[in-house]
Structure 1
Amino acid sequence: MDDELVVALRKSRENFFARVARGQSPLDGVMSPLTRMLIERFGADGVDMTSAWSFTPTDWICPSCGRTKADIVRLNSKQRLMCRLVEHHDHMKDLVEREFKLACKAQDVVVADERAKRFADRASQMVSAYDNTIVCDDCNGADAMAKSAANTHKNFSYSPQEIRQFVRPRPNQPHEIDGDEARRIWKSQTETFALRLKIVKRIAMIAATDAHWHQEIPRMQRAEEVYKNAESIASYNYAPGAHYELAGDKCRPLSDVFDQWRRVVQPKPGSGPSDKDIEYVAKVTSTKFWSRVPDDWCCVTCKRSKRETVRKSKKDWTFLLSDPDFYDQPSGYPKQRVIACGECGALATNLGKEASLTAGISSDQNYGRYLTISELASIVRPQAYGRHNVDNERVDQLMESLVTRVRMLNGVLD
């Protein structure tokens, strides 16, 4: 490897670790301010940290027990600070794999192949009760304790939401569990779990007898890979978004052309959603976002009410939220996180991206960090039940200072 490249890579790594050590990264680590503070508080002789802990921010909260990292840590028998988060998963995928193996070997001749196994893996997602989730090590252990207390099927596992119902968390201590609650949950899931077991066996048999219907396409022929490859090549050449111009202006998405995304006037929406539409949004199409904020919530930037934020998509009414990191003017760092409506989140991304491209900075996934909340609020021209319009004159006035900020935060000096 070229010596200059080695030096550049080493410098990039040093800068990466330095940002974590200064608390300027969305990641954690043994060198972060939080870890150093906790080591001192507990008088630890070292750190026992999992990768999942370092891959999550310092303000991460366990989705099951609700504890912060500061409340999760404790000393182990070697006086090392345990900073342990793990991936909690449904065992159904493992069961599908085992059943597939058994069904294959039960045939006179094994007729299944790698495609059949991949079909079984893909189908296993259908019978999984929840997505793989990062939880604290204590919550993962509480799952095993609850299964024992409730005498569940060996392949059953509690979801993160169900763990939340029976754990009794305490700061910096292992969990206690409510065995009665664990048994109640298992009883309510028994019939559904039996149905899932039947589906597992059926999937395994379909795959093992090579009766599956999935027809694979070579990876680089898949549409999503074609798009990703073109985007990657453009970014590698420090021209993010330029690949859309290869087929002419008419093929370029507006959001990838420096400022044209905000020159389009969004039409005024028609009538708003009915009460039944709102109920459907709350219970079916946007449950996660709807339940996240109270009924009297309003967007911090556009000031629209919860109901006014509901917007008609191509097929139905939807309610979206966004929680980007905004630039915190007093501290000079992008640490101010708020809950905004989805439209304001998209606006922050598009404006930050325009400033980034104007500054000549390559692709960044956290464009909102270049704006303050007040700056975003000053350019929004909100519409109830619809998309925002933009005060382009105000954006033009802001752009020079935004570009300067982008370059500063990315360490690019004139």
Structure 2
Amino acid sequence: TLICNDCNTAEGKAKSRLGDLIPSYFSFSPREIMRFIQVKPNRMHGIDNEAVRVVWNEVESDVADRLAFLDILAGRLKAGGHRIQGNPPQFWSPHALTSIVPRLASQQGHDAESLYRIPGIVSERSVRHDGFGVSPRLKRTASRRPSLEDLAAFRTSQGVETPWRRVVPDWRCEVCRRDRSEALRLSGKGKWTGRLHRHLVFTAERDPQALFWRVGDESWMGAFRSYRVVYICQDCRQVVTDLRSIDASYSENALSVSDLRDLVTDIAPNRKHDVNIPAARARADQNYEYLGLIDDYNRHRSQSISLTIELTTLTGEFRMGQEEALIELRPLAWAPGFSDDQLRERLDWLLLEGRRLRR
């Protein structure tokens, strides 16, 4: 995709402002760049620093998933996996069956061409590995605890803005409860690995009025009010990564912290978890209502914050009066199940929500 020089420059500046938080080889996509640039004719683009961080927070998990997959692939290649195997030897000679194939064809009602394939079918052996995640047990390798020097070196390798450096000294994984030294393990390339990953824990909306404005008379459906960010270890996050390796349609929120606690049971220091991936898939498939509530929360957050920004723009840049601006925005508060008379009151509530959610 071709982009202009100003967008390319803005993308580089945005990455520099995130510092060590992002890999040096990462690049924002054109759609992502569009979200944080401030465009004016015949001038260099400005950059919304808050928007840059929002965009990075949204894509960070996906980037981490890709890096984790590459690490797994590198380890398998180093161990000799994924080698191309040639055609298996032929233990049958098609010529030896030449005289009997036509007779078999006439007696069994099969065409001779399909029967001539019998020798190859018989002599072939499957070289396909078991499906990913189907093997019941993980092949264990001896674990090794990192020394103080190993820990210091790994800490130095992590940027000052990375979760590893920002979490509290006594941090423990929200899922497996291992501390940072226990969460480190040797990768397939013989290097210490143990990134920490953001995970969202959502809280339910308890305010009856808020539930009414969110879902109307269907308050029994529930809604999420907010979320908090927790950090989990790389091996707990790997469960979600493995799911998305099987099927990219799985969301990064496919499994909650509670789900992961149920699934991650074989826990030991400095060792990858042994997780039943089919069970993880089954749990993720059951979470459609949970994921629906997350989607609803994201839509609500986006709508309310957008209305707040739009009100500021109308009253500031366009110098509208407050009441005139609210009349202009009123149609944007429409939602199924609400009458026109309720839109102004719902708009006022959405603006309050926008201010709350922007904090």
Structure 2 length-normalised TM: 0.37
Q: Which has the larger radius of gyration?
A: 2
Structure 1 length-normalised TM: 0.32
